[in-house]
Amino acid sequence: MRRWRTALISAVALAALLVPVQSAVADGPGEPRQRDAKPGPSYQLGHGKKKTQARASALADHTITLRGVDINGQPVAPLASLIDLGTGTEYILSQSGGTLTGTVPDGDYSLTAIVLTGNPYAPDDLALYGDPTLTVGGDVDLTMDARTATEISSVSPSATATEYQSHAQLVQTIAGQVITTTVSGTPTTGLRAWPSASTTRPYYFTYSECKTEPLTTLPSPRVYKLAFPTTGQIPTNLTFTAPESSLALVNTTYASQGVASDGVGPHATIVDYDGIGGSVVGLTNPASAPSTQRVYYTANGVKWRSDYFYVVGGYQVAERDTGPRTFTAGTTTSETWHKAAFGPTMPVGHGQGTLIARPLLADTGTLGHENFSGNYSDGTTGTLTLYRNGTLVGQSTNPLAGDWTVPAAAANYRLDLAVQRTVPWSLYAKKINTSWTFPSAERPGDPFADQRDLLQPRITGAFDSSGRAPSGTTFPLDVVAQRAADGSAVTSVSLKASFNDGVTWTTVPLTANGTDRWTANVTHPSVNNGYVALRFTASDSSGFAVQQTVTRAYGLN
């Protein structure tokens, strides 16, 4: 084994992925701020890749002087970048007290600046300045007084929803470089900006804000994840209105795995403006599990990708939406996080002489989601065993990860996963026995970066928010065989259920409901142990197969 990487995603790693704007001071003192689940103020000044130091003054050069005044009227040196629009070269400005100075030749420049008020590690206010085309033909002396800047805000359809998190960005392209400046606010840290002149070059101002109602709001609180792009300038009107007709509603259930969360956790959503790019920002709303919220998203011109995790006894129960989503204005859909039934999925990578396996032990029935909640070694024992053309390659005593040295040539492989779990954050997936069969040959590139899924079931239904179905009734399950990469349609499939942890099994008829999809009507007995075990088998004509048994895949009430 050349290296070892586990699949565990920590809260800090998720926070970095979901709300990636720097939490520590940028272009200021180097003392970092500690991340936590609740978003804090931050800022990041964009810079050019090519830089030149302030030069000795020549006859053709001009002095640039930049002064800042905070919202309390105190002089403060702004953070600023001055970039030549022709060459993309950034001219470094020197600070002396509350002033920035530098010397530059005649030309057109992009000037971007941030004026901070208060502690630079926890500012009270952030003011964003942008001049897309500063023409320098003589000395420039500019004062940026934050008291004259306009507050940036949004108006949602709810009178009781208030700001939870906000971001303003300038995204521009200069000499082939995409340069992004971001300021991020909170209810106690204001954002403001000065309107700018307009330009026809790639220059965008975007404002994103999450507004939330109190979590005690009935029947469920409303959340607004709003995105407002402006092309060519910082606009004069910095109060952005989101009429309900421009939004899409997603009725969101934050389910638990049978154990309620200790408190709220972040549902963080990355905002991706079509055709604008720049650094990604995340809008976060708090949510406990189980609970429901009505989440509204800006519909047109924006893509969204979410993660949600909650905490049980210090453990992070994490799930990721793997792909971006777009919404149509005026539509209503639903989404459930941590949705039963629970069971493993198996990503593998094969390259550089190595085959790796990184199972997700408690993945969910939701296609397009990855659930990392099973990927703690605490309370988990088992093995992960690899065979090549029927011959044992090796066995990992860590069921969460396996790395094996294998030949590059194509072969038929089998991965056997055997797991037993007793964990405080979940009542489900107590015991797992799964065997995946698949053909594979070495692929170019890093096997850790180039991972693909095998054939595996995704089974779900109208479970409650604790992963349970009613006893003493016939309950329909939506059964999907998630096709393996390079696989074909399933040709053979079966499903069995057990109501006594696998002592006895009942065959469940499957009715085709589309390609690789079936409806299974499970008759739940009135007398049971409170859980349902599922045994699923499937194969296709491409050499992929799965045989999977999950004890306590979902609960009964």
Reduce the secondary structure of 22-74 to three states and give it as a string: CCCCCCCCCCCCCCCCCCCCEEECCCCCEEECCCCCCCCCEEEEEEEECCCCC
Q: What is the mean pLDDT of residues 274-293?
A: 93
Q: What span, in angstroms and rounded, lies between the C-alpha atoms of 100 and 327? A: 45
Domains recognised in the chain with CATH numbers:
11-337 (no CATH), 343-556 (2.60.40.10)
Is 126 within 8 Å of 183 (Cβ atoms)?
A: yes
Strand-pairing partners, residue 397, are: none
- Taking residues 111-132, report their average pLDDT: 97
Question: Residue 336 — φ and ψ, nearest 5°?
Answer: -125, 130
453/462 Cα distance (integer angstroms): 26
Q: Concatenate the DSSP letters of all residues of 150-219 into one string.
A: EEPEEE-S-SS-EEEEEEEEEEEEETTEEEEEEEEEBTTBEEEE------SSSEEEEEEEEEE--TT-SS
Compute the half-sphere exposure of residue 192: CA atoms within 13 Å on the CB side of its CA: 21
The tens digit of pLDDT for each residue in 502-515 reads 999 999 999 999 99
User: What is the 8-class DSSP label of residue 245?
Assistant: G
Question: Do residues 65 and 102 touch, judged by C-beta distance below 8 A?
Answer: no
Number of CB atoms found within 10 A of residue 524's CB: 17
Beta bridge partner(s), residue 382: 419
What amino acid is encoded at 59 in this protein?
L
DSSP category for residue 324: -
pLDDT value of position 58: 54
Residue 31 clears pLDDT 70, i.e. is over it: no
Question: Which of 11-20, 96-105, 288-297 has the highest mean predicted lDDT (pLDDT)?
Answer: 288-297
What are the tens digits of pLDDT across the range 199-252?
999 999 999 999 999 999 999 999 999 999 999 999 999 999 999 999 999 999
Spatial neighbors of 396 by CB under 8 A, at least 6 apart, are 383, 384, 385, 402, 403
Give the closest residue to 491 by CA, choosing from 513, 516, 455, 519.
516
| Residue position matching structure tokens 């500019």 | 142
Q: Is the pLDDT of residue 114 over 60?
A: yes
pLDDT tops 90 at residue 254: yes
pLDDT at 119: 94
Which one, of 231, 454, 502, 237, lies nearest residue 345 by Cα?
454
Calpha distance 209→238 (Å, rounded) = 13
Which of 17-21, 56-60, 304-308, 484-488 is the least confident region?
Answer: 17-21
Token pair, residue 92, equals 């470094």
Distance CA 492, CA 538 (A): 5
The pLDDT score that the predictor gives to residue 55 is 52
Share of the chain above pLDDT 90, in %: 87
Q: Is the dihedral of CA 132, 108, 43, 64 positive or negative?
A: negative
Q: How many CB atoms are closer than 10 A to CB 418?
A: 16
Band of pLDDT at residue 552, cut at 50, 70 and 90: very high
Average pLDDT over residues 180-199: 97
Longest Cα pair distance anywhere in the chain, in angstroms?
Answer: 94
Mean pLDDT, the chain, rounded, equals: 92
Q: Is the model's pLDDT at 11 over the cut of 80? A: no
Spatial contact of 60 and 135, defined as CB atoms under 8 Å apart: no
Return the pLDDT at 269.
96
Checking if the pLDDT of 529 tops 90, the result is yes
Instruction: Show Cβ contacts of residue 329 under 8 Å, excluding neighbours closer than 6 positions.
Output: 245, 246, 247, 248, 299, 300
In the predicted model, is pLDDT for residue 13 greater than 60? no
The DSSP string of 250-315 is EEEEE--SSS--SS-EEEEEEEEETTT--S-EEEEEEE-SSEEEEEEEE-TTEEEEEEEEEEETTE
Closest CA relative to residue 228, chosen from 167, 288, 308: 167
Please name which of 133, 136, 129 lies closest in space to residue 113, comparing C-alpha atoms: 129
* pLDDT for the residue numbered 53: 64
pLDDT tens track for 57-100: 555 689 999 999 999 999 999 999 999 999 999 999 999 999 99
> Is residue 510 within 8 Å of residue 479, measured between CB atoms?
yes
User: Which residue type sits at 512?
Assistant: A
Is the pLDDT at 32 greater than 50? The verdict is no
Whether the per-residue pLDDT at 20 is higher than 70: the answer is no
pLDDT confidence band for 126 (50 / 70 / 90): very high
pLDDT of residue 270: 95
Region 156-177: mean pLDDT is 97
- 160 within 8 A of 95, measured Cβ to Cβ: no
Any bridge partners for residue 192, and if so which?
127, 151
Q: How far apart are CA 358 and CA 453, in angstroms?
A: 10
SS3 12: helix
What is the tens place of the pLDDT at every residue in 412-463? 999 999 999 999 999 999 999 999 999 999 999 999 999 999 999 999 999 9
Q: 38-60 pLDDT, tens per residue? A: 688 999 999 998 888 655 555 56
Mean pLDDT score, 330-348: 97
Given the DSSP bridges, would you call strands 343-345 and 360-363 parallel, antiparallel or unpaired? antiparallel
Across residues 342-366, what is the average pLDDT? 96
10 Cβ contact list (under 8 Å, min separation 6): 316
In angstroms, what CA-CA distances link 6 with 364, 398, 444? 20, 10, 22
**Helix (H) or strand (E) segment spanning residue 80:** strand 79-84
Global pTM value: 0.91
